[in-house]
Amino acid sequence: MAATTGTPLSYDRYCAEIVHQADQLRSTVKNTDPAAAVPTCPGWNLGQLIRHVNGAHRWVETIVGTRATEPVSDELVNETPKLADEDPAELGALLAEGAARLSDTLRAAGPDVPVWTVAPGGTPVFWARRMTHETALHRADATLAAGREYVLDADVARDALDEWMGFHAVEEIAEEQPGAPVLLGPGRTLHFHATDTEAEWFVDLTGAAPVWRPTHEKAAVAVRGTVTDLVLFLYGRPAVAGGVETVGDRGLLEVWLERTRFWLQ
């Protein structure tokens, strides 16, 4: 079950943001060795990271462009061959072309046509939003690898948090797993507070299924940080600035993070 902490980004904004984030990613890796390791993506170098992002764009462009209503192979997403001596300019051009084509295809389809999605949604809006944050997150990976400062617009970061909370609608999160700690139960609540905005997220695990709401409520565990640091924390990336502060039941937080990160594996 999902809620919203504010006005979601518009469909047009998502389409534009995909290109914008890709352009920023290209700028980040310009004049940087494609063979440079990406610490937050173990085993990958910057060239592979670019290919992964481009593969994701091409995959979604195929889904939306063909109006697919059944699962489409994600082989393109996993196209991260260990190539040597790749031309940075060619990688940059590949990323730019893929982002532009995806944006154009999303605009041509419009927000409402039925398409297959990997989680509840079923329209191009899901993919426009997902690829916005996929690109922004991997830009953070590249920024960290290049030793540069990562900056993300607060409204984009806030929407990324809203999207993450929306993943509670995926059934796997609440399903009991053999040998795994129980997720749902009495007193199981979490609170996330963005210190640089008025945004807050309260996660309630006390019922039959996880729910969340945009409010300040006392919880078993609280996490505080800038909205961008909260995004990086949820995605398992080290925060660029001051990090996050955690107060309360860290064990509950770890269980919740494990369940909500299952789709990243």
- In 3D, which of 43, 235, 251, 250 has the Cα closest to residue 157? 235
Average pLDDT, whole number, for the chain? Answer: 90
Residue 7 has pLDDT above 80, yes or no: no
User: Which CATH architecture describes the domain 164-264?
Assistant: 2-Layer Sandwich (3.30)
Q: What residue ranges of the chain are covered by domains with CATH 3.30.1050.10?
A: 164-264
**pLDDT of residue 62 exceeding 50:** yes
User: Could you tell me the pTM of the whole model?
Assistant: 0.92
The predicted structure's pLDDT at residue 163: 93
Identity (one letter) of the amino acid at 9? L
Q: Average pLDDT in the 194-208 region?
A: 94
Could you tell me the pLDDT band of residue 31, with boundaries at 50, 70 and 90?
Answer: confident
Residue 36 Rama label (left phi>0; alpha psi -120 to 50; beta): beta
6: pLDDT strictly greater than 80: no
If DSSP codes are grouped into helix, strand and coil, which group holds residue 195? coil
Instruction: Summarize pLDDT for 9-18 with one digit per residue, the tens.
Output: 999 999 999 9
pLDDT value for 5: 44
Range of lowest pLDDT (39-53, 192-206, 231-245): 231-245
Per CATH, the number for 11-150 is 1.20.120.450
- In the chain, residues under CATH classification 1.20.120.450 are 11-150
**Three-state SS for 159?**
helix
Tell me the C-alpha distance between 200 and 203, whole Å: 10
Task: Using DSSP bridges, classify how beta strands 245-248 and 221-225 pair: parallel, antiparallel or unpaired.
Answer: antiparallel
